[in-house]
Chains A and B, each alone.
Chain A
Amino acid sequence: MDYKLRKAEPKDVSDILRLVKELAKYEEMESQVTLTEKDLLEDGFGETPFYHCIIAETQEENSSEDPKVVGFAMYYFTYDPWVGKQLYLEEFYVMDKCRGLGIGSGILRHLSDLAMKTRCTGMMFVVAENNKPSVQFYKRRGAEDLSQEEGWRLFRFDKDSLVKMATPAEE
């Protein structure tokens, strides 16, 4: 079974959401996904996209069926004021049944190449420390764990806290 990588198009949003939910299920966080197809459409294919997406498709040889979307990567560009532009890999997933075919490596290769072509000095992402297969996958490929090596911790303000912070304090 051969695969093809291509840029996502508006028609792909339902497959993207399907795969996002599948990955969330694998991480036991399915209920956390509140994103909708409408959000994906507006946010990825409007004038100023918040994200970009690569799709991996397979097609059975000599088949008249439509190609099937079996993997994706969602990324955007960020900035490190010390070393410049970075490519941030937000989400990266290949369906279970299509693993071991080199699709994951192919996606990473494509993104690394894109990072270099767009003058990014690095590719960044987040991995859960208990996701041992993923941690190994990335470390094998030379990724550094900045949390471990330099002591960076990721923090978040959720919507409610954001609203509180945005409201000026009473004088």
Chain B
Amino acid sequence: METFSIRAANVEDCKDIARMIKELAEYEKLADLVRVTQRDLEQDGFSKNPFFHGIIAEVPEQHRTKEGHTKIGYALYFYSYSSWMGRAIYMEDLYVMPEFRGKGIGKALMSKVAQLGLAAGCHQLNFTVLEWNKSSLDFYLSQGCFDITDKMGYHCMRCEGEALEHLAQP
């Protein structure tokens, strides 16, 4: 039986987190959008006022990948707020390396995020999924969530780059 452990991420994990962020982006066919570096993660996640928190899934040395990795999954989350219901937790990333899927690691990572959210008084856990990502959609729906984009027609919007600069002009 293969074992794994789930623990809070620390600053030394940023190299592996950066690696897995890139792997997840490749899976999502959007790898060229990744700009954040290991150093950004160290500063943004592990300074006095972190902008995100991480959870790492690790396997023992004897189960390491052929490249030598024992950190084989992660989740990134932060606290958010609903103007209707109050405290909420947002799961930004959830990823398990392909060869370690189907062992309950993804579920365990998500369960940890849920536990942390409840402990902090949160009423909901939100996240986004790509519409074509059927295996992920099936996994999440089987865990009891619902599709707000479908139910309420909510679209995620962003203003960035020139549009943001333009908006900021007096």
Residue of A nearest to B154 (CB): A126
Residue of A nearest to B51 (CB): A79
Asked if B126 CB lies within 8 Å of chain A CBs, one says: yes
| In the complex with contacts A84-B35, A84-B44, A168-B111, A156-B148 CB distance below 8 A | yes
State the CA gap A32–B144 with chains docked (Å). Answer: 20
Contact assessment for B114 and A166 in the assembled complex, using a CB-CB cutoff below 8 Å: yes
Contact assessment for A34 and B122 in the assembled complex, using a CB-CB cutoff below 8 Å: no
B 1-27 to A, binary, CB cutoff 8 A, 1 in contact else 0 = 000000000000000010001000100
Determine which of B36, B51, B159 lies in contact with A142 in the assembled complex, contact meaning CB atoms within 8 Å: B159
Contact assessment for A112 and B164 in the assembled complex, using a CB-CB cutoff below 8 Å: yes
State the CA gap A152–B160 with chains docked (Å). Answer: 17
Asked if B98 CB lies within 8 Å of chain A CBs, one says: no
State the CA gap A115–B45 with chains docked (Å). Answer: 18
Asked if A130 CB lies within 8 Å of chain B CBs, one says: yes
Binding site for A on B (CB under 8 A): 17, 21, 25, 30, 33-36, 40-41, 44-45, 51-52, 76, 78-87, 90, 92-93, 107, 110-111, 114-115, 117-118, 122-132, 140, 143-150, 152-170
Asked if A145 CB lies within 8 Å of chain B CBs, one says: yes
Chain A CB within 10 A, most for which of B82, B92, B130, B163: B82
State the CA gap A126–B51 with chains docked (Å). Answer: 20
Asked if A162 CB lies within 8 Å of chain B CBs, one says: yes
Contact assessment for B90 and A126 in the assembled complex, using a CB-CB cutoff below 8 Å: no
Q: Which residues of B contact A133 (CB under 8 A)?
A: none
B163 → chain A, closest Cβ, in Å? 3
Binding site for B on A (CB under 8 A): 20, 23-24, 29, 32-35, 39, 43, 50-51, 74, 76-86, 88, 90-91, 108-109, 112-113, 115-116, 121-130, 135, 138, 141-148, 150-169
State the CA gap A38–B96 with chains docked (Å). Answer: 40
Q: Which residues of A contact B161 (CB under 8 A)?
A: 121-122
A107 → chain B, closest Cβ, in Å? 11
| In the complex with contacts A79-B92, A158-B123, A147-B149 CB distance below 8 A | yes
Determine which of B81, B118, B130, B169 lies in contact with A162 in the assembled complex, contact meaning CB atoms within 8 Å: B118
Contact assessment for A79 and B52 in the assembled complex, using a CB-CB cutoff below 8 Å: yes
State the CA gap A57–B43 with chains docked (Å). Answer: 37
Determine which of B34, B41, B144, B169 lies in contact with A157 in the assembled complex, contact meaning CB atoms within 8 Å: B144
Q: Is the interface of B mostly helix, strand, loop or mixed?
A: mixed
Determine which of A35, A154, A163 lies in contact with B83 in the assembled complex, contact meaning CB atoms within 8 Å: A35
| In the complex with contacts A82-B35, A125-B157, A161-B144, A116-B130 CB distance below 8 A | no
State the CA gap A106–B133 with chains docked (Å). Answer: 39
Chain A CB within 10 A, most for which of B81, B83, B161, B168: B83
19 contacts across the A-B interface (CB closer than 8 A):
A32-B85, A78-B80, A78-B90, A81-B17, A108-B167, A125-B157, A129-B154, A141-B163, A144-B158, A145-B156, A147-B154, A150-B30, A151-B130, A152-B130, A153-B131, A155-B128, A157-B143, A162-B117, A162-B122
State the CA gap A143–B123 with chains docked (Å). Answer: 29
| In the complex with contacts A150-B130, A165-B143, A35-B148 CB distance below 8 A | no
State the CA gap A68–B76 with chains docked (Å). Answer: 41
B102 → chain A, closest Cβ, in Å? 15
